[in-house]
Amino acid sequence: MPTNEAAVLDALRPIIDPDFGKSIVDLGFVKNVRIDGGSVAFDIELTTPACPVKEEFERAARDRVSALAEVDEVEVRMTANTRGRASTQASDVLPGVRNTIAVASGKGGVGKSTTAINLALALQRSGATVGVMDADVYGPSLPLLTGVHGRPRAEDKRIYPHESGGLKLMSMGFFLTDDSPVIWRGPMVHGLVRQFLTEVVWGELDYLIVDMPPGTGDAALTLTQMAPLSGAVIVTTANDLSLIDARKGLAMFDKVQVPVLGIVENMSYFTPPELPDKKYYLFGEGGGKRTAEEIGVDFLGEVPIDPRVVESGDKGRPIVVDDPESPTAAAFVDIAGRVARKLAVLAEGTPPIADANITWVS
Ligand SMILES: Nc1ncnc2c1ncn2[C@@H]1O[C@H](COP(=O)(O)OP(=O)(O)OP(=O)(O)O)[C@@H](O)[C@H]1O
Ligand SMILES: [Mg+2]
């Protein structure tokens, strides 16, 4: 006797999503179960394509259904329907953008732009549609980091973002000529930020990463107040001063009730190429993690000091695409997965289970 849908769902029910703490069947992730004799096919629809346990889900699902007596062929298709604001939500501010993630820091030079572009590329690599908005009007770095330059097309009060490998890009840097001095007064900054939020044709995006202006000045405040931010990622380095600044950055988001998704500690340690198992913590170990604990936010991960970050940034190919196998790229991919998971859970209104290990209940 061939198997039936109920038997397939029963076989899949013990697979628990660690973020939601529930069965993938009860969460409604299993879709389109098709049975043709001994062949079974189904989809598993995740809440984000950047789900770090995608492969584990796929393997467990295949193994469990294959183990059914009457089944000799299993096809699992992994899909995603990124959670976030409803994409149809009527709004003139970033319509069509499901999740807007601010990447911020209390002080400059800690690797905010580097983190923003690499997170964007990591999310895109997972299959998500992603845009990057460089809102750092005083020191835009997206043109340099991506190698994309030139004025974007503008028509009828609409500005079309540049596109590079499918990634949508917008930066004040695209409008500047080399020698124009950048002197912005408060109202100009306000107007510019508004234009970026309302006139740029982003289209449908799963994630828009916003490289925030440094600190907590005018431009940063305008953005936190005007943009429908889904969450903020705070970048810091390990030394004490930047940790204090990180706290200031956090306070700014708290004020406008934007959830802080967590802290990234950049330039945490150095691994010499000839000693790939060593981690030298030049500024002391665990500062970012301790600060995160003290403030009660998640610690998203450590990114090593890596000269290739500078080189790859300078040649317009960030490390996640330039050397995807490197530990530094892996750190960004890991952080992107955590961010995506947290956003998915926030969007569902379910409290996250902190760093739960996947438990396969058998
Ligand atoms: N993990 C890393 N390893 C080595 N160098 C890094 C790393 N992260 C960033 N850098 C380098 O540090 C410098 C500052 O980084 P970045 O521009 O991303 O910082 P920022 O916080 O955006 O700075 P700003 O405040 O000027 O906008 C850059 O030259 C960048 O290449
Ligand atoms: Mg920057």
Question: At CA 275, angle to CA 331 and CA 237, rounded to 5?
Answer: 40
The predicted pLDDT at position 255 comes to 85
pLDDT at 223 over 70: yes
How far, in Å, is the centroid of ligand 2 from the Cα of 32?
A: 45
Q: What is the per-residue pLDDT across 165-176, written as a single tens digit (0 to 9) for each?
A: 999 999 988 887
Q: Are 323 and 285 in contact, with CB atoms under 8 Å apart?
A: no
Determine the average pLDDT of the residues in 251-260: 88
Query: pTM for the whole thing?
Result: 0.90
How far, in Å, is the centroid of ligand 1 from the Cα of 84?
A: 29
What is the Cα–Cα distance from 101 to 182, expressed in whole angstroms? 26
Ligand nearest to the CA of 249: 1
Closest residue by Cα to atom 9, ligand 1, is: 111
Whether the CB of 216 sits within 6 Å of ligand 1? no
Q: Are 240 and 291 in contact, with CB atoms under 8 Å apart?
A: no
Q: What is the per-residue pLDDT across 263-291, written as a single tens digit (0 to 9) for each?
A: 999 999 999 989 989 999 988 888 888 88
Q: Are 132 and 168 in contact, with CB atoms under 8 Å apart?
A: yes
Q: What is the per-residue pLDDT across 86-107, written as a single tens digit (0 to 9) for each?
A: 544 557 788 889 999 999 988 8
Closest residue by Cα to atom 10, ligand 1, is: 111
Q: Are 189 and 219 in contact, with CB atoms under 8 Å apart?
A: yes
What is the Cα–Cα distance from 37 to 237, expressed in whole angstroms? 58
How far, in Å, is the centroid of ligand 1 from the Cα of 109?
A: 5
Closest residue by Cα to atom 19, ligand 1, is: 111
Phi, psi dihedrals of residue 347, rounded to the nearest 5°: -65, -30
Q: What is the per-residue pLDDT across 2-51, written as a single tens digit (0 to 9) for each?
A: 789 999 999 999 999 998 899 999 999 999 999 999 999 999 999 999 98
Ligand nearest to the CA of 329: 1
Q: CA nearest 51: which of 100, 141, 135, 122?
A: 122
Q: Are 358 and 56 in contact, with CB atoms under 8 Å apart?
A: yes
Whether the CB of 306 sits within 6 Å of ligand 1? yes
> Does the CA dihedral 107-109-113-119 come out positive or negative?
negative
Task: Return the structure tokens found at 289.
Answer: 């993690």
Buried b (16+ CB within 10 A) or exposed e, 268-286: bbebeeeeeeeeeeebebe
Element (H, E) at 131: strand 130-134
CB atoms within 10 A of CB 52: 18
18-27, 68-77, 189-198, 342-351: which has the minimum mean pLDDT?
A: 342-351
122-136, 188-202, 310-324: which has the minimum mean pLDDT?
A: 188-202
Whether the CB of 237 sits within 6 Å of ligand 1? no
